Structure 1
Amino acid sequence: MPSEQWTHPEPGDGPAAVAAQPSPEQVIAGLRATSEGGAELTQLLTPEGERVPSPQFDKYVEDVDAEALRGLYRDMVLVRRADREANAMQRQGQLGIWVPLLGQEAAQIGSGRALKAHDMAFPSYREHGVAYARGVDMKDLLGIFRCTDHSGWDYQRHGFHPYTIVIGNQVLNAAGYAMGQKFEGKVGDDDGEATIVYFGDGATSQGDVHEGFVWAAVYDAPLVFFCQNNQWAISEPTERQSRLPLYQRARGYGFPGIRVDGNDVLACLAVSRWALDECRHGNGPVLIEAFTYRMDAHTTTDDPTRYRLSDELEEWKLKDPIERVRAYLARGGYADQAFFDSVQADADAFAADLRDYTFNMPEPPPDRIFSNVYAEGNPLLEAQREEFLSYLDGFVSAGEH
């Protein structure tokens, strides 16, 4: 097997390490070298819960007082608790599959709370936190993973598009939507509209993402590309997908890119507000790389112990997005133990409600598959529906004899 490049150093840093398969030492060394995302990382709250001033981005979170930060903390705790409950329900056979977001709560809540009511978000299949931030009932997400629904929410009212399973396809959909916002004159001032699209580091290797970059760039579409770089495209690390940090890819398309600490909810909120503001004023698009980490499996069908080391996971646990906010609130006297206990109690009740709903979720009628295929009635579809129901009735009649 020919050797392949594993790490690509900056000029003057020495030769690249090569190996057909990376050694454990290479993996750990690469992780530690980029554990905080490099010198270009935007961070407002350290893993220890200390506030870092930012001349560029502080103004975007001036309204985030102690009460607002407690709200962001509560958002992340509830979303994580719901995620853990859904993961457990899949193991118990109540869901067909689950896509964990463990470790990515700050990236999703921070960016999701940055959106305005008239903005639109295009998710992939892991953005449960963004859905929550957009006011989508998380019960409506569970039908997708129980295989009873495609999506159960009004995406126009919530400004949150249905989940997209095909890797990267939502980027093209978002680019087209944002181009429409531009063509209809819905950008240009503080009240302008903007769109955000979510995808992972693995999706950046898909053609759809690059085509979306091209279309958004040439039409100045008000589109924020929000890449959650959780370090692993299923079993392939980021180093095997790009020679450069992902945010630098924006240069090739002629629009700005920025890397933010994806485990810092305050920084994700500030950077997302800045990027969305750029877009709604007609200066888009913008690429955000949220440098975070997937603490669990890619999906419940995946076993991450087969391709990554426990050392890596333990190091990222120290950068937990929830714990750093908790530390900041506690250290500053902005929250006491009673507050943290109440949030946990709310989270447990939230999860129990989701669990009760899932266990008692009604089975959809068999003709549900024909609903909402077209906006108006269609004779051919109606004929197919009647044929299908007649076919099912044949089984009932046979059973009666």
Structure 2
Amino acid sequence: MPHTVKGVVSRAKGEPAELVDIVVPDPGPGEAVVDITACGVCHTDLHYREGGISDDFPFLLGHEAAGVVSAVGEGVINVAVGDTVVLNWRAVCGQCRACKRGEPHYCFNTYNAAQPMTLTDGTPLSPTLGIGAFCEKTLVHSGQCTKVDAAADPAVAGLLGCGVMAGIGAAVNTAPVRRGQTAAIIGCGGVGCAAVAGSVLAGARRVIAVDLDDKKLGWATDLGATHTINSAGMDEGAVVAAIQSLTGGFGADVVIDAVGRPETWRQAFYARDLAGTVVLVGVPTPGMELQLPLLDVFGRGGALKSSWYGDCLPERDFPMLIDLHLQGRLNLDTFVSETIALDQVEEAFAKMHRGEVLRSVVVL
């Protein structure tokens, strides 16, 4: 029978999120109900609350989550009741043109649950990124569940569901950073710090972190950055020169823009070595435009890439990264600044906006 549980809902653009009762139906074919154990507070949830992604209110917020499968629907074979899982928002279909050409990380037809979760009056909820995990239970497509080692702290494991995977994947999958290369990361919030960790994991000999905030640069250092640049008060040219000065005057082999603004992307473009790689993983807003001399694009060569969800394949990457963490080879604990309760999500949004935390994590 359906379950009535507590969940964090955004009813209208810009209004504070509310902790209310929601109804989670029994799983249908291909679906699973997951008891949420932890869920990170991500900028994407705030973008949904502010109406920056769509206007399909009310939203059930939360998506960066770990939990335990408590029920499965007909035909589900990839997970079973009792499995510890990390939720993902790119459950690949296996049938679209990207999947058929052997690039399932680009799947153009990802799955979500077919049934809606609702308010108690029957109003359908829009789950953020097809997940909706600031709640005690959520309904997802079974393909959105990736089984991982239950020994991992849920507060850490859940972060792989979005921001940490996006950053690590930008370095390891999209670029990819190779052993002995130099990498620079512009913007050291959650995604940027994860790109630092990914560059270290990939074997970069020099990892340069760039940000306006010394606190964020400290986080990047904790995750393995070898050099930091505080760009407060610096123009674009000065940032480029600072990166070049740390790379023999040439520029970095890979520069990752984890901010997603025209000025930071231009910094990344000019701060890379000739034939180097730029990776955009920060998400621009719809009105942003970029102006760049086309001759410079031609003359500098290399690759200009965008990273979608770290170009990850969840069933491959999540278990691997959890195993590396449990072996002490990947420091994920640094990302958890604090653990909070469901009724503290709105306060966590404010802390995140002020840059006070790397990640607040709801623990149930």
> Which structure has greater strand proportion?
2
Q: TM-score range by the shorter chain?
A: 0.3 to 0.5
Taking structure 1 as the reference length, what is the TM-score of the superposition? 0.32
> Which structure has greater helix proportion?
1
Ranked by relative contact order (alpha carbons within 8 Å, sequence separation 6 or more), the top structure is 1
